[in-house]
Structure 1
Amino acid sequence: MTEPSELVEQQGVGIPDALQRLWTPHRMAYIKGENKPDDDASEGCPFCKVVEMDDEAGLIIARGESVYALLNLYPYNPGHLMVVPYRHVALYPDLTVAETLELAEFTQRAMTVARDVSAPHGFNIGMNQGVIAGAGIAAHLHQHVVPRWGGDANFMPVIGHTKVLPQLLAETRNLLAEAWRKT
C-alpha cells in the first residue's frame, strides 16, 4: 500500500488519500431520492406501496390495525426495523390517539422480539421529523428501532466506512416475523 506521504495529485480525479473504497452503486437510488415522496402526496411513497406487497417481498414483519413493522431496506445495524402508520401522515402530532398507542405498542414489541432473536445490548429508538432533521422519507412518519451491541460501531464503519451485516434481509425478516407471531 502506498504511504500517504507518497501520494501525489492525480490530474482530473482529485487528491488520493489513505482511505480504501468499497463501491456501492446500488445505494445511488437512495442518495438520489428515488421512490421518495416529495410532498404530502402518497403517490410514489414507498411506505404506502409496500403495504400492497406480500409480507416477505415487502420485508414486513407484522401488521396491526393502524401501523405495521418492517425491516429498513438501508439498515444502520442488523435487525434495524421501523414502525410505520398505514395512513400517510408526516408529523407525530398528526397521529390519532389510536395510531399513537399502536405505534408505541409495536415499538415495545419490536424491542422484545429483537431481544429474543438476537440479544442486543441496547437500542436506539427514534424518528426524524422533516428533511432538515434527517428524515429520509419526511412525508410519511416512521419510527426507527435499531438494535445495538457493544462494538457494533467498531473500525469497519469508522475507519473502513463499511457496514457489516451478517445476514440477508429476507433471513432477518423471517426470524423476526416468526418470533413476533410467538410473542
Structure 2
Amino acid sequence: MNTLWTPWRIDHVLGKAPKVPHCIFEPPGESTSSKNDLLLYRGRNGIVLLNRFPYANGHLLIAPKRHIDCLTSLTEQENQGIMFLTQQSVLILKKHLNPDGFNIGCNLGSIAGAGIADHLHYHIVPRWNGDHNFITVISEIRTIPEHIDLTFDTLLPDFVSLFLQENP
C-alpha cells in the first residue's frame, strides 16, 4: 500500500485554518506573484491563484481584480480577460501536469456552493483517470500527490512569461 501525505490540509479539514485579513482574491500589494498568497498571476483584469485547499493537484482559482459577486457584473473587457486567463491556465496545466481532462466552472452564491460568495471566481480542476478513490467517498478527504509549494514553483515561470507577454 502507498501512503499519500497531505499534511497542509489538516487545519482545513479540522476547521482550524487561519482566516486571512483580506479577500484572498485581492492579495495585498501590487506584485504580479506571491508564493505566500499562492498568487501565480496578477494582471490588468484578473488574477490566478493556486487553491490552498485543492480538490486535485494544480487546482487553480481565477478571479477578476474588481470585487464583484456575479458574472453578470463583468465588463466586456473583464469577461475577455477572465476567459484569456482560463485558456492560458489550461495550456500551462496541460504542459506541466498532463491531466486527462478538466472541470472548469464557478458557483454563484453560497447556496450554490461558493465558499467565498462575494468575489466571483472560477475553478480550474485538472483531472486524471482514477484520480479520486474511496478515501474521498468515505472520509471526505482528498489526497494530493504533490506538495503545493512544488506545484507553485513548477507553474510560476509560465505565468511570469504570460504577464510579460501581456505587459511588454
Q: TM-score, normalised by structure 1?
A: 0.74
1:65, 1:115 → 2: CA distance? 24
Q: Give every structure 1 segment of 4 or more consecutive aligned residues whose post-TM-superposition deviation is greater than 6 Å.
A: none
**1:131 pairs with 2:110:** yes
Report the alpha carbon displacement of residue 46 of structure 1 after superposing the two structures with TM. Answer: 2.3
- The 5 Å alignment of 1:1-183 reads 26-27=11-12, 28-29=15-16, 34-35=19-20, 44-48=22-26, 50-52=27-29, 55-182=34-161
Query: CA offsets per residue over residues 58-116 of structure 1, 9 Å max, x none?
Result: 11112221101110111000000011111110000101111100100000011000000
8 Å contact kept, 1:83–1:107: yes
**For structure 1, which runs of at least 5 residues remain unmatched after alignment?**
1-23, 36-42
Shift of 1:139: 0.3
Question: Unaligned regions of 5+ residues in structure 2, if any?
Answer: 1-8, 163-168
Shift of 1:182: 4.8
Q: Could you tell me how far apart the structure 2 residues matched to 1:179 and 1:154 are?
A: 31
| C-alpha distance in 2 between matches for 1:72 and 1:86 | 17
Cα distance between partner residues in 1 of 2:69 and 2:114: 10
CA contact 2:25–2:47 (8 Å) conserved in 1: no
In structure 2, what is the Cα distance between the partners aligned to 1:159 and 1:44?
34
Greater CA radius of gyration, 1 or 2?
Answer: 1
C-alpha distance in 1, partners of 2:64/2:141?
31
Shift of 1:181: 3.8
Question: What count of residue pairs does the alignment treat as equivalent?
Answer: 151
Q: Could you tell me the TM-score, scaled by structure 2's length?
A: 0.81
Structure 1 position 122, deviation (Å): 0.2
**Residue type matched to 1:26 in 2?**
D
Q: What is the CA RMSD across the aligned residues, in angstroms?
A: 2.2
Tell me the distance in 1 between the aligned counterparts of 2:79 and 2:85: 10
**Which amino acid in structure 2 is aligned with residue 180 of structure 1?**
F
- Per-residue Cα deviation, 1:3-40 (whole angstroms, up to 9, x for no partner): xxxxxxxxxxxxxxxxxxxxx7512146xx945xxxxx
